[in-house]
Homo-oligomer: A and B are copies of this chain.
Amino acid sequence: VREDELLGHIAARSADLSARYPRVIVGPGDDAAVVRTPAGGELLITTDQLIEGRHFTPGTAIDLIARKAVARSVSDIAAMGGLPVWALATAILPDGYAHADALFDAMAKWAKRWNCPLVGGDIAGSPGPLALSVTVAGEMPPGASPILRSGARAGDAIGVSGPLGGSLASGRHLTFEPRLDIAAVLASRRGEVRAAMDLSDGLGIDADRMARASGVVIEIEAGAIPLAASSEPGLSWLDACRDGEDYELLVALAPGTRFEGVTIVGTCRERRAGEPAHAAIVEPGGARHAGGSLGWDHQSHAQPRDR
Protein backbone atom coordinates (compact mmCIF):
# COMPACT_ATOMS: atom_id res chain seq x y z
CA VAL A 1 0.00 0.00 0.00
CA ARG A 2 1.34 3.39 -0.92
CA GLU A 3 0.93 5.87 1.92
CA ASP A 4 -1.03 8.37 -0.15
CA GLU A 5 -3.51 5.75 -1.34
CA LEU A 6 -4.20 4.69 2.21
CA LEU A 7 -4.47 8.31 3.35
CA GLY A 8 -6.93 8.92 0.52
CA HIS A 9 -9.02 5.98 1.66
CA ILE A 10 -9.00 7.29 5.22
CA ALA A 11 -9.94 10.82 4.16
CA ALA A 12 -12.84 9.51 2.04
CA ARG A 13 -14.15 7.39 4.89
CA SER A 14 -13.82 10.28 7.33
CA ALA A 15 -15.51 12.99 5.27
CA ASP A 16 -18.74 12.97 7.25
CA LEU A 17 -17.26 12.96 10.75
CA SER A 18 -17.74 16.63 11.52
CA ALA A 19 -21.37 16.45 10.43
CA ARG A 20 -22.08 13.44 12.64
CA TYR A 21 -19.93 14.18 15.71
CA PRO A 22 -20.30 17.65 17.23
CA ARG A 23 -16.83 17.48 18.83
CA VAL A 24 -15.10 17.11 15.45
CA ILE A 25 -14.33 20.35 13.61
CA VAL A 26 -11.55 19.12 11.28
CA GLY A 27 -10.93 15.38 10.92
CA PRO A 28 -8.17 13.39 9.20
CA GLY A 29 -6.22 14.93 6.32
CA ASP A 30 -4.68 18.11 7.69
CA ASP A 31 -1.49 18.54 9.74
CA ALA A 32 -3.61 18.32 12.89
CA ALA A 33 -7.23 17.63 13.71
CA VAL A 34 -9.35 20.34 15.31
CA VAL A 35 -11.78 19.30 18.03
CA ARG A 36 -14.28 21.22 20.14
CA THR A 37 -13.68 20.99 23.88
CA PRO A 38 -16.40 20.55 26.52
CA ALA A 39 -16.37 24.23 27.47
CA GLY A 40 -16.58 25.31 23.82
CA GLY A 41 -12.95 26.03 22.93
CA GLU A 42 -10.92 24.50 20.13
CA LEU A 43 -8.03 22.09 20.51
CA LEU A 44 -5.52 21.01 17.86
CA ILE A 45 -4.37 17.40 18.05
CA THR A 46 -1.81 15.47 16.01
CA THR A 47 0.28 12.32 16.25
CA ASP A 48 3.40 11.13 14.46
CA GLN A 49 5.70 8.13 14.65
CA LEU A 50 9.44 7.66 14.55
CA ILE A 51 10.85 4.24 13.71
CA GLU A 52 14.43 3.03 13.82
CA GLY A 53 15.72 2.24 10.35
CA ARG A 54 12.97 4.34 8.80
CA HIS A 55 13.18 7.80 10.34
CA PHE A 56 16.60 7.52 11.93
CA THR A 57 19.52 5.14 11.56
CA PRO A 58 20.62 2.67 14.24
CA GLY A 59 23.26 4.29 16.42
CA THR A 60 21.64 7.74 16.45
CA ALA A 61 22.09 9.43 19.84
CA ILE A 62 19.12 8.94 22.18
CA ASP A 63 18.78 12.68 22.69
CA LEU A 64 18.41 13.25 18.94
CA ILE A 65 15.91 10.40 18.56
CA ALA A 66 13.81 11.89 21.36
CA ARG A 67 14.16 15.38 19.92
CA LYS A 68 13.00 14.38 16.47
CA ALA A 69 10.08 12.32 17.82
CA VAL A 70 8.73 15.34 19.69
CA ALA A 71 9.69 17.96 17.10
CA ARG A 72 7.79 16.25 14.27
CA SER A 73 4.48 16.55 16.10
CA VAL A 74 5.25 20.06 17.38
CA SER A 75 5.86 21.01 13.74
CA ASP A 76 2.34 19.84 12.87
CA ILE A 77 0.91 22.14 15.54
CA ALA A 78 3.03 25.02 14.17
CA ALA A 79 1.63 24.29 10.70
CA MET A 80 -1.85 25.08 12.02
CA GLY A 81 -0.65 28.34 13.58
CA GLY A 82 -0.95 26.85 17.07
CA LEU A 83 0.94 26.65 20.33
CA PRO A 84 1.73 23.23 21.86
CA VAL A 85 0.22 22.68 25.32
CA TRP A 86 0.66 19.02 26.28
CA ALA A 87 1.77 15.72 24.80
CA LEU A 88 1.52 11.95 25.11
CA ALA A 89 4.16 9.46 24.02
CA THR A 90 4.28 5.75 23.31
CA ALA A 91 7.37 3.62 22.97
CA ILE A 92 7.94 0.14 21.60
CA LEU A 93 11.24 -0.93 23.09
CA PRO A 94 13.24 -3.81 21.60
CA ASP A 95 13.49 -6.69 24.07
CA GLY A 96 16.42 -6.05 26.40
CA TYR A 97 16.58 -2.32 25.58
CA ALA A 98 18.79 -0.76 28.26
CA HIS A 99 18.15 2.97 27.82
CA ALA A 100 14.46 3.34 28.59
CA ASP A 101 14.95 5.81 31.45
CA ALA A 102 17.29 7.97 29.40
CA LEU A 103 14.95 7.89 26.42
CA PHE A 104 12.01 8.99 28.55
CA ASP A 105 14.07 11.74 30.19
CA ALA A 106 15.13 13.07 26.79
CA MET A 107 11.57 13.00 25.43
CA ALA A 108 10.30 14.75 28.56
CA LYS A 109 13.03 17.38 28.24
CA TRP A 110 12.24 18.19 24.62
CA ALA A 111 8.53 18.17 25.26
CA LYS A 112 9.03 20.79 27.97
CA ARG A 113 11.35 22.71 25.66
CA TRP A 114 8.39 23.25 23.36
CA ASN A 115 5.95 23.76 26.23
CA CYS A 116 4.03 20.50 25.80
CA PRO A 117 4.86 18.38 28.86
CA LEU A 118 4.27 14.63 28.60
CA VAL A 119 1.09 13.95 30.54
CA GLY A 120 0.81 10.28 29.68
CA GLY A 121 1.88 7.43 27.47
CA ASP A 122 2.46 3.73 27.13
CA ILE A 123 5.44 1.40 26.92
CA ALA A 124 5.56 -2.04 25.36
CA GLY A 125 8.29 -4.50 24.52
CA SER A 126 8.74 -6.11 21.12
CA PRO A 127 11.32 -7.99 19.13
CA GLY A 128 10.96 -5.30 16.48
CA PRO A 129 12.82 -2.02 16.03
CA LEU A 130 12.57 0.91 18.44
CA ALA A 131 9.41 2.87 17.60
CA LEU A 132 8.03 6.01 19.19
CA SER A 133 4.84 7.95 18.74
CA VAL A 134 4.21 11.43 20.06
CA THR A 135 0.80 13.03 20.23
CA VAL A 136 0.78 16.79 20.75
CA ALA A 137 -2.18 19.01 21.56
CA GLY A 138 -2.14 22.66 20.66
CA GLU A 139 -4.19 25.76 21.14
CA MET A 140 -4.69 28.73 18.86
CA PRO A 141 -3.79 32.17 20.18
CA PRO A 142 -6.92 34.03 21.34
CA GLY A 143 -9.04 35.14 18.41
CA ALA A 144 -7.16 33.15 15.75
CA SER A 145 -8.64 30.20 13.90
CA PRO A 146 -6.58 27.17 12.77
CA ILE A 147 -4.82 27.51 9.42
CA LEU A 148 -5.82 24.58 7.21
CA ARG A 149 -4.04 23.27 4.13
CA SER A 150 -7.25 23.54 2.14
CA GLY A 151 -7.55 27.33 2.13
CA ALA A 152 -5.30 28.28 -0.81
CA ARG A 153 -7.08 30.33 -3.50
CA ALA A 154 -6.27 31.51 -7.01
CA GLY A 155 -4.06 34.57 -6.84
CA ASP A 156 -2.39 33.62 -3.56
CA ALA A 157 1.36 33.69 -3.28
CA ILE A 158 3.05 30.47 -2.18
CA GLY A 159 5.92 30.79 0.26
CA VAL A 160 8.26 28.72 2.41
CA SER A 161 9.66 29.60 5.83
CA GLY A 162 13.25 28.60 5.17
CA PRO A 163 15.80 26.87 2.94
CA LEU A 164 15.10 23.34 1.73
CA GLY A 165 16.98 20.20 0.72
CA GLY A 166 19.67 17.89 2.04
CA SER A 167 18.04 17.51 5.45
CA LEU A 168 18.79 13.82 5.80
CA ALA A 169 22.33 14.03 4.38
CA SER A 170 23.23 16.97 6.59
CA GLY A 171 21.64 15.58 9.75
CA ARG A 172 19.34 18.60 9.97
CA HIS A 173 16.32 16.24 10.14
CA LEU A 174 17.45 15.46 13.69
CA THR A 175 18.03 19.04 14.84
CA PHE A 176 15.46 21.21 13.07
CA GLU A 177 13.58 23.79 15.06
CA PRO A 178 9.80 23.53 14.62
CA ARG A 179 8.60 26.83 13.18
CA LEU A 180 6.63 28.03 16.17
CA ASP A 181 8.13 31.49 15.66
CA ILE A 182 6.68 31.88 12.17
CA ALA A 183 3.48 30.15 13.25
CA ALA A 184 2.85 32.80 15.89
CA VAL A 185 3.31 35.56 13.31
CA LEU A 186 0.99 33.80 10.84
CA ALA A 187 -1.66 33.36 13.54
CA SER A 188 -1.42 37.02 14.51
CA ARG A 189 -2.15 38.07 10.91
CA ARG A 190 -4.57 35.28 10.25
CA GLY A 191 -6.65 37.21 7.71
CA GLU A 192 -3.69 37.41 5.34
CA VAL A 193 -2.80 33.71 5.57
CA ARG A 194 -4.93 31.36 3.50
CA ALA A 195 -3.28 27.98 4.05
CA ALA A 196 -0.32 26.35 5.74
CA MET A 197 1.27 22.92 6.21
CA ASP A 198 4.68 21.64 7.21
CA LEU A 199 7.12 20.21 4.69
CA SER A 200 7.80 16.67 5.82
CA ASP A 201 7.84 14.67 2.59
CA GLY A 202 9.33 17.27 0.24
CA LEU A 203 8.14 20.48 -1.39
CA GLY A 204 6.97 18.61 -4.51
CA ILE A 205 4.59 16.13 -2.93
CA ASP A 206 3.56 18.45 -0.09
CA ALA A 207 2.70 21.36 -2.42
CA ASP A 208 0.70 18.87 -4.46
CA ARG A 209 -1.21 17.89 -1.32
CA MET A 210 -1.98 21.53 -0.55
CA ALA A 211 -3.12 22.11 -4.15
CA ARG A 212 -5.42 19.06 -4.07
CA ALA A 213 -6.82 19.94 -0.64
CA SER A 214 -7.53 23.47 -1.90
CA GLY A 215 -8.79 22.53 -5.37
CA VAL A 216 -6.30 24.77 -7.15
CA VAL A 217 -3.10 24.59 -9.19
CA ILE A 218 0.12 25.63 -7.44
CA GLU A 219 3.03 26.60 -9.69
CA ILE A 220 6.44 26.82 -8.09
CA GLU A 221 9.42 28.44 -9.80
CA ALA A 222 12.37 26.11 -9.46
CA GLY A 223 14.76 29.05 -9.46
CA ALA A 224 13.00 30.75 -6.55
CA ILE A 225 13.33 27.87 -4.09
CA PRO A 226 15.78 28.72 -1.29
CA LEU A 227 18.37 25.95 -0.98
CA ALA A 228 19.82 24.84 2.35
CA ALA A 229 23.51 25.47 2.88
CA SER A 230 25.03 22.03 2.51
CA SER A 231 28.36 20.34 2.33
CA GLU A 232 27.00 18.42 -0.63
CA PRO A 233 28.15 20.21 -3.75
CA GLY A 234 25.43 20.92 -6.23
CA LEU A 235 22.30 20.79 -4.08
CA SER A 236 19.64 21.61 -6.66
CA TRP A 237 15.97 22.58 -6.79
CA LEU A 238 15.25 18.90 -7.40
CA ASP A 239 16.86 17.94 -4.08
CA ALA A 240 14.89 20.69 -2.36
CA CYS A 241 11.66 19.32 -3.83
CA ARG A 242 12.15 15.66 -3.11
CA ASP A 243 14.50 15.19 -0.16
CA GLY A 244 11.82 15.82 2.45
CA GLU A 245 12.24 16.16 6.22
CA ASP A 246 12.62 19.95 5.99
CA TYR A 247 9.92 20.82 8.53
CA GLU A 248 9.70 24.34 7.17
CA LEU A 249 6.21 25.73 6.65
CA LEU A 250 4.57 25.98 3.24
CA VAL A 251 2.07 28.84 3.18
CA ALA A 252 -0.45 30.44 0.85
CA LEU A 253 -0.69 34.20 1.37
CA ALA A 254 -3.49 36.47 0.22
CA PRO A 255 -2.52 38.59 -2.82
CA GLY A 256 -0.09 41.35 -1.93
CA THR A 257 0.71 39.96 1.52
CA ARG A 258 4.31 39.46 2.56
CA PHE A 259 5.86 38.20 5.80
CA GLU A 260 9.40 38.58 7.03
CA GLY A 261 11.00 35.14 6.99
CA VAL A 262 8.75 33.77 4.26
CA THR A 263 10.31 33.42 0.81
CA ILE A 264 7.86 33.51 -2.08
CA VAL A 265 8.41 30.55 -4.41
CA GLY A 266 5.27 30.44 -6.51
CA THR A 267 1.66 31.25 -7.09
CA CYS A 268 -1.72 29.69 -6.99
CA ARG A 269 -4.16 29.70 -9.93
CA GLU A 270 -7.53 28.22 -10.87
CA ARG A 271 -7.74 24.87 -12.62
CA ARG A 272 -8.41 25.03 -16.34
CA ALA A 273 -11.19 22.96 -17.86
CA GLY A 274 -10.45 19.28 -17.23
CA GLU A 275 -7.27 20.03 -15.35
CA PRO A 276 -6.90 18.32 -11.97
CA ALA A 277 -5.81 20.17 -8.87
CA HIS A 278 -2.06 19.69 -8.59
CA ALA A 279 1.29 21.34 -7.98
CA ALA A 280 3.95 21.76 -10.63
CA ILE A 281 7.58 22.81 -10.41
CA VAL A 282 8.55 25.00 -13.36
CA GLU A 283 12.19 25.27 -14.45
CA PRO A 284 13.52 28.58 -15.80
CA GLY A 285 13.45 27.12 -19.33
CA GLY A 286 9.76 26.25 -18.90
CA ALA A 287 10.02 22.51 -18.26
CA ARG A 288 7.23 21.39 -15.88
CA HIS A 289 7.48 18.61 -13.29
CA ALA A 290 4.50 17.19 -11.44
CA GLY A 291 4.99 17.90 -7.75
CA GLY A 292 3.30 14.65 -6.81
CA SER A 293 5.94 12.62 -8.61
CA LEU A 294 8.69 14.10 -6.44
CA GLY A 295 9.18 13.79 -2.70
CA TRP A 296 9.46 10.85 -0.44
CA ASP A 297 6.74 8.40 0.43
CA HIS A 298 7.68 7.03 3.85
CA GLN A 299 5.61 3.93 3.25
CA SER A 300 7.21 2.70 0.09
CA HIS A 301 10.91 3.18 0.75
CA ALA A 302 12.95 1.13 3.16
CA GLN A 303 15.39 3.98 3.65
CA PRO A 304 15.73 7.65 2.78
CA ARG A 305 17.24 8.16 -0.61
CA ASP A 306 20.83 9.14 0.18
CA ARG A 307 21.03 6.28 2.46
Which residues of A pack against B, CB within 8 Å?
1, 3, 6-7, 9-10, 13-14, 17, 20-21, 23-24, 26-28, 32-33, 35, 37-43, 45-49, 51, 53-55, 85-86, 88, 90, 92-93, 95, 97-98, 100-101, 104-105, 108, 115, 117-129, 131, 133, 135, 137, 139, 298-300, 302
Residues of chain B within 8 A of A51, CB atoms compared: 92, 124, 126, 128
Q: Are B131 and A14 in contact (CB under 8 A)?
A: no
Q: Are B93 and A38 in contact (CB under 8 A)?
A: no
Number of copies: 2
Q: A9-B104, A23-B86, A100-B1 are in contact. Are A128 and B128 (CB under 8 A)?
A: yes
Residues of chain B within 8 A of A14, CB atoms compared: 108, 117-119
Q: Are B92 and A124 in contact (CB under 8 A)?
A: no
Residues of chain B within 8 A of A28, CB atoms compared: 118-121
CA distance A48 to B127 in the complex (A): 18
Q: Are A123 and B3 in contact (CB under 8 A)?
A: yes
Q: Are A6 and B100 in contact (CB under 8 A)?
A: yes
* Shortest distance from the beta carbon of A38 to any chain B beta carbon, whole Å: 4
CA distance A95 to B118 in the complex (A): 30
CA distance A118 to B108 in the complex (A): 26
Q: A117-B24, A119-B17 are in contact. Are A54 and B124 (CB under 8 A)?
A: yes
